[in-house]
Each structure stands twice: as C-alpha cells, then as structure tokens.
Amino acid sequence: MASQAYHDRDGVIWMDGEFVDWREAKVHVLTHGLHYASAVFEGERAYGGQIFESRRHSERLHHSAQELGFEIPFTVDEIEAAKVEALAKSGLDSAYVRAIAWRGSEMMGVSAQNNTIHLAIAVWHWGDYFADKMKGIAMTHAQWRRPDPKTAPCKAKAAGLYMICTLSKHAAEREGYADALMLDWRGHVAEATGANIFFMRDGALHTPTPDCFLNGITRQTAIKLAKARQIEIVERTILPEELSTFSECFITGTAAEITPVRQIGEVDYKPGDVTEALVTDYSDLVNGKIMMPA
C-alpha cells in the first residue's frame, strides 16, 4: 500500500514564525525556489525526543543559505526553538525533521534580489531508510558525477545539487538496486546519492576526501566512533578500480544512519565486525546510551 502523500496529512508545520495546518502549508507556483532551486535544507532525526546534533544542522542551514547568497531571517537560536516546538507538537519521540529555506515569489527570473526569504520546519515519522539494512544494500554505478566545485556551491546542502542524485537513484531502483555510487568530475569515488561512503581494508577505514561534496554530520560522527575504537581513518582519493580490494563497505547519513553495503556493481562485500560495531555504536549514541567521543 502506498504511503500517505506528504501534502495530505494531519498536524502542523512551522512556517515563517508561526504554525499552520499541515494541509495549508503552501507556496505559490511562481516561487523562485521552485523554478531556480534557490533553496537550502536540512534533514535531521530525533531520537527519544531529542534532535541529534540539532544545532550543527541549524548552523549548516545558515551556512548553506550564505553560499547561495541569501540570509535566513531567523537566528540559529530561533530555529532551534522552532524545531523543539515543532517536534513537541508532532507528538513523536522518534521522528524526521526537515527545515527548508527558500526565495519567495516577488520576482521571477534568474535574478531575484528582492525576494522574501522563507523558512519552514516539518516533522514526521520516518523509520529505517533502507529495509532490513543489516543485510546490506546493493548499489550500482551512477551515470552522473558530482560537479567540479568551480561549477556549483558544493559545500551547501542546496536543493539544486540533488537533481542528479534523484536521477541516479531512480535509475538504480529501476535496475533493482537500492542506491548508486557517484564518482566526482575527476572520476574518483565520491559518495552515494544521499550519503557518504566508507570502505574497510587491512584494519583501516578508507573514505573519500570531501572536497566536492558535503562532509556529512553523520560522516563526522562515524569517524569519531571509529577512532574511539582505535580504528585508523584514511581520508584520501579512492579510485573505482580499488573497489574490489576492500572487505567491508557502509554508507552514512541522517536518513541512512550507518547502513552496510553488500554490493557495488559486480563487487561484493560482507558486512563484518567493524561495520556491525559502528552500527551498534551509532544507535547507542543517538539513543543516549553512550557519549559522543572527543
């Protein structure tokens, strides 16, 4: 059975400083953010009534807006308070939190210097991004590549940067895969369509240097957890021909959390002890059973 459409749900959404009925949280069809992708967003998860790394997400939202040349008319503290209230009004302890800021509809065209900047925050239930994730997901190779930083604001969590991610994930799903591995413009391993990626070899975790894609908050958390277990972290250029030399693989992201990978194209991996330990550590961390490592 299809899930309930996102525009047709009970509840409220925080918009520009006040709560509105979920079904009435609308924007005009000539909104600049819709036509020209002048929008930035954050995806966050709440566990046990607490939004994990909430402030870092709010700070990144502000940074992303600055990268796109606009300023969000709410401070980080105001966004933090709004998220807490939105989560409370949702009645959910564990939830997904989406904050999004965008240019409005005063001007229509490439230039929109005088458009109002809007901010909305919605909260809903969202379980595991991948079903039976400890089995490990199967990935294929994406046709599209992450762009050169000279061609796009790659350090922003900007809506427009996800167009090629949607294209890549749709293509992967049509072929029976859960996700796709994206290379960067140089042909180096970059990330999945919405998550960072790690590989295990000879006791060390290898991960691409985030020089043209987001250094994800979950990615940084996974690195801290691995270091706390005395696991060596190697951030470097990873070439596609190296994929068969690794024994384990996993992806990280707010939605994916830490998800094992069992296959990338023709290469197979076995979710092993390191991956399993980090999945457990991450679950313990976000649920307040352990403290964030230094």
Q: How far apart are CA 220 and CA 98, in angstroms?
A: 20
* pLDDT above 80 (res 1): no
Q: H or E element: which one contains 226?
A: helix 217-228
| Per-residue confidence (pLDDT) for residue 2, from 0 to 100 | 53
Q: For residue range 70-86, what is the model confidence (pLDDT) as tens digits? A: 999 999 999 999 999 99
Mean pLDDT for the stretch of residues 203-219: 98
CB 161 within 8 A of CB 233: no
Mean pLDDT for the stretch of residues 245-273: 97
Mean pLDDT for the stretch of residues 242-268: 97
Phi, psi angle pair for 146, to nearest 5°: -65, 135
- Single out the catalytic residue among 155, 157, 270, 289: 157
- In the DSSP assignment, the letter for residue 133 is G
Catalytic residue check, 157: yes
**Measured at the alpha carbon of residue 119, what is the angle toward residues 115 and 120, in degrees to the nearest 5?**
140
Average pLDDT, the chain: 96
CB under 8 Å to 70, separation ≥6 — which residues?
Answer: 38, 101, 103, 117
Q: For residue range 115-150, what is the model confidence (pLDDT) as tens digits? A: 999 999 999 998 877 777 789 999 999 999 999 999
Mean pLDDT for the stretch of residues 209-217: 98
- H helical segments located in 111-189: 163-174
Q: For residue range 12-35, what is the model confidence (pLDDT) as tens digits? A: 999 999 999 999 999 999 999 999
CB under 8 Å to 257, separation ≥6 — which residues?
Answer: 45, 128, 129, 133, 218, 279, 282, 283, 286
**pTM listed for this prediction:** 0.96
Mean pLDDT for the stretch of residues 91-115: 97
* pLDDT above 60 (res 224): yes
Q: How confident is residue 289, by pLDDT bands cut at 50, 70 and 90?
A: very high
- Tokens 């967003």 locate to 41
